[in-house]
Homo-oligomer: A and B are copies of this chain.
Amino acid sequence: MTTEPRTARGQETKRRILEAAEKVFAEHGYQGASVSKITTAAGVGQGTFYLYYPTKHEVFVELVDDLNQRVRQAMSTGSQRGTTRLESEREGFREFFRFAAEHPAIYRVVREAEFVAPEAMRRHYTRIVDGYVQGLTTARAAGEIDPDLDTRVAAWALMGVGEMIGMRWILWEGSDGEVPDSVLDQMTRFIRQGLGIARPTESAAEEHS
């Protein structure tokens, strides 16, 4: 739905607009953001915006999709660091929180977007949940988690836990917030038990005080 530039110069311009959009949306929210704020931030003329995006709504959608891709990438990277299911979850969340802390936009803007671009939002959440479902299904097959758990419901529950904790400790605690280890520990404990994962052996350090 967006127009692809045909020259290198154009691509550069479009990229700058998208970056500016992220900054502006993050600072003012969807409604508070205006095309003119975006173009000013990007250092281009107002009309230039419409060369690449038909509407303000459309940049927003592209931005959400872009952020979604990046956050999933981050989570996936974190997840692969873990050797057990639990470690995977924990590291996935850690990366998620880190990403969120570096891009508070994703929280604020994405949450606000439910009203303004529902499809984009659903795509966003669904994609993340799909990742969880896959991981959980594999884990269940391997006997690592409660065999009676519905992986889809569990996945949405995990999503919710992560989102809420993130909102509370990252967004609310000032802009450079970070989820403290103690909270991450408690959260991991809750999730471990919720998923029915056996308690790690004493040697395994669950509690990184």
Contacts and interface: CB of A to CB of B under 8 A. Distances in A.
A163 B164 contact: yes
User: Most chain-B Cβ atoms within 10 A of its Cβ — which of A29, A122, A164, A182?
Assistant: A164
Contacts of A162: 160
Interface in A35-92: none
Copies of this chain, whole number: 4
A164 to B, nearest CB: 3
A159 interface: yes
- Interface extent on A, as a size class? 35 or more
Interface of A: 29-32, 108-109, 111-112, 114-116, 122, 125, 146, 148-150, 153-154, 156-157, 159-165, 167-168, 171-172, 182-183, 186-187, 189-191, 193-196
